[in-house]
Structure 1
């Protein structure tokens, strides 16, 4: 592993420069950022397209959620591919497949059911890709370098979402959605090439044995690992519950923006508000607070990630159409994003509690549930918005979330002393 001579911070934490000095981190970081931008371009383009064709909040939310559902339906199984085959090969093949499928989606006049089927197929590539990428991060970085790299990756994710959402709003207004989809396909091509030349070719992590193995057995091992550890149950419970309610409003962003009297560009800005807040909050956590201090502040941050969602829904519901209401809603969602930086110290706690030998499987379980609740939350919000105003659904999500996160927060506090000092090696990112 390289980059040992790079400078660190005054407190001994590695600097961002020290992390980027690790050669293999650069393609893992860069391609993740690039692909995320492309994904958000496609997600907004398809959501707007479906809402324009059907005028249905439920179908619009279903389109937004569809890219998350493969994680819920088969994520833990698909994620084991990252442990069964060379991880660099898994990354490259996944990107090549996604480039071809998204290019097929860009064919003009493609029927809506075919577009949705292709979107689902593209999403099936995500679990093995994300599991392999995260496990490789743990292979090339360790200790505090990994913690800083995780913060950088989380911040990069939010910046990429901001850029993707804002750009998508502008591009959908100016061009046909097919152009936006072709741009997404191009990001996967560039990513595949960069990963092909920028990463070492390592053998598959699982050594061949005389005893037959299967993805089902490995998936079961990951599930049993989580179930046996009260600490991991608490961490994942908080991750899934907080994400479910904090992000549910994304699924009905199109009808909410429409109710506020705004168009496609405003939709992109609305969707970008929360990840922009997470970007700023993540930088504060990474460079000023540190993960230990941030973990002590986690209950405050969790509340900050949900209370503004409740207020945003109430403001939108009371005010109705009007630029004043729209601006205040965007500001509140930005503040909610600041609070959502609680995922960074939670990720470090997850890493410390997971043995390195089962990184891919544990990651697959955690992130499968994470994406699954995002999809289910968006679907639930869309279903509710068929009967009540979208703003009311946003307020309900924020209020219910504030109640639902209390049990996992208490469980996390109870289990903290029991695992002090365990498994402090690098591990996968669950956020």
Structure 2
């Protein structure tokens, strides 16, 4: 049965997405910090879990993308939400009873990451069937705002006690359970799946399409560069030292919260500007305008708190604008039954970029020495990393004319093969 009202489908999707974002926080900070810390697990176990998650992501994300392109996305969201709710519920019960064991925690962590990864791919692929093209940016922006808010809301429950941890995991379980029910009610029309040719061949088709399509390839290059360079910029930025009682200097934690409000600010800017500027044009313009502000952090607090704040706030807000608009543009120009594999290709690229960024950070620390609060010796790293991010955005700028026709009308899956090489 199809939901009779497009507005009702949109509201159900938004509500389901908010519930999914509440549960998404569980796969990172909630499980590894909120559970492992109070339960006495050490850094070695946290590192082992993180490594296992990375390996599973590299191995299984593409097959999961193939699965998402084969099945009904609404059904996939309902099933994955139900499974994630059950897994998190078992962990919440164990935390409440103070009976969490390392094998149980590792199993739940890995299973939730895989289940939630499938749900994430299905949600991105399902949205173009639920809303019209001109609503993609607002809905994606609202999802980003919901994710940012959930990290605060669920995080407040993590006070370090087992009871608070159980409550936080329980809230996450309820969030994904609610999302499973809401997505199951939507019943939006979807295109039939193409004939199956084998998991490997279908996976290769998705990777080839993503990396040969000029616009999608430019998006991958930019996001890879941003992910790889961002850690070095954050690590080697000059952290201001503010006086504390007793004339003891401490890092400027008072200003750090501004980084977290940058995400909703960027999402709101995307909503306000995308119709006037254009979705893809807004993405590369936001990057080229905002990322040079990272250089302001080199002065620490010497130029005053306003300039330092802009050096942290503006680049993060620009990255949020680009994240919303690039996701929306990718959903608009990618054939519907390739969205799962295209998203999976991008996730794998980001995992590889995260590893590359860690190596670059270690190399920089080896060459110029480890940085401490207030140390300005890392300015070459910040300058080079910022230049690297801008360079990775140049391919999008060069495609600024080619991308506009893709925004004129809805994509046709029937012409996907003919259009695979042109945006």
Structure 1 length normalisation: TM-score?
0.71
2:70 matched to 1:84? yes
1:136 counterpart residue number: 126
- For residues 338 and 219 of structure 1, the distance between their equivalents in structure 2, rounded to whole angstroms, comes to 33
The equivalent position to 2:269 in structure 1, one of 262, 280, 284, is 284
1:344 counterpart residue number: 324
- For residues 285 and 190 of structure 2, the distance between their equivalents in structure 1, rounded to whole angstroms, comes to 43
Shift in Å, 1:357: 4.5
1:119 counterpart residue number: 109
Shift in Å, 1:229: 2.2
Shift in Å, 1:234: 1.1
2:213 counterpart residue number: 229
Shift in Å, 1:38: 3.1
Q: Cα distance 1:251–1:343, how it changes in 2: closer, same or farther (>3 A)? A: same
2:386 matched to 1:402? yes
Shift in Å, 1:102: 1.5
Q: Cα distance 1:168–1:130, how it changes in 2: closer, same or farther (>3 A)? A: closer
Q: Is the 8 A contact 1:87 1:202 kept in 2?
A: no
Query: Could you tell which deviates more after superposition, 397-406 or 357-366?
Result: 397-406
Q: Is the 8 A contact 2:125 2:336 kept in 1?
A: no
- For residues 379 and 194 of structure 1, the distance between their equivalents in structure 2, rounded to whole angstroms, comes to 42
Shift in Å, 1:370: 3.8
Shift in Å, 1:402: 1.4
2:363 matched to 1:363? no
User: What value does the CA root-mean-square deviation take over the aligned residues?
Assistant: 4.5
What do residues 192-231 of structure 1 show as CA deviations (whole Å, max 9, x unaligned)?
12222x2217678315x5xx52222111111111232233
Shift in Å, 1:390: 7.3
Q: Is the 8 A contact 2:65 2:344 kept in 1?
A: yes
Shift in Å, 1:404: 2.1
* Larger Rg over CA atoms: 2
- For residues 62 and 289 of structure 1, the distance between their equivalents in structure 2, rounded to whole angstroms, comes to 42
1:40 counterpart residue number: 25
Aligned residues: 386
1:205 counterpart residue number: 192
Shift in Å, 1:335: 3.0
What stretches of structure 2 of length at least 5 have no aligned partner?
Answer: 241-248, 413-423
Shift in Å, 1:123: 0.6
Q: 5 Å matches for 1:152-167?
A: 152-157=139-144, 159-167=145-153
Q: Cα distance 1:143–1:421, how it changes in 2: closer, same or farther (>3 A)? A: same
Q: Cα distance 1:364–1:279, how it changes in 2: closer, same or farther (>3 A)? A: same
Q: Is the 8 A contact 2:66 2:203 kept in 1?
A: yes
1:97 counterpart residue number: 83
Q: What's the secondary structure of 1:421's corresponding residue?
A: helix
Q: What's the secondary structure of 2:397's corresponding residue?
A: helix
The equivalent position to 2:168 in structure 1, one of 180, 205, 211, is 180
- For residues 99 and 380 of structure 2, the distance between their equivalents in structure 1, rounded to whole angstroms, comes to 38
Q: Is the 8 A contact 1:246 1:305 kept in 2?
A: no
Shift in Å, 1:307: 4.9
- For residues 295 and 348 of structure 1, the distance between their equivalents in structure 2, rounded to whole angstroms, comes to 9
2:245 counterpart residue number: none
- For residues 248 and 124 of structure 1, the distance between their equivalents in structure 2, rounded to whole angstroms, comes to 28
Q: Is the 8 A contact 1:291 1:348 kept in 2?
A: no
Shift in Å, 1:78: 0.7
Structure 2 length normalisation: TM-score?
0.73
- For residues 374 and 31 of structure 1, the distance between their equivalents in structure 2, rounded to whole angstroms, comes to 29
Q: What's the secondary structure of 1:191's corresponding residue?
A: helix
Q: 5 Å matches for 1:406-421?
A: 406-421=390-405
- For residues 222 and 409 of structure 1, the distance between their equivalents in structure 2, rounded to whole angstroms, comes to 23
Q: Cα distance 1:38–1:133, how it changes in 2: closer, same or farther (>3 A)? A: closer
Q: Is the 8 A contact 2:364 2:381 kept in 1?
A: no
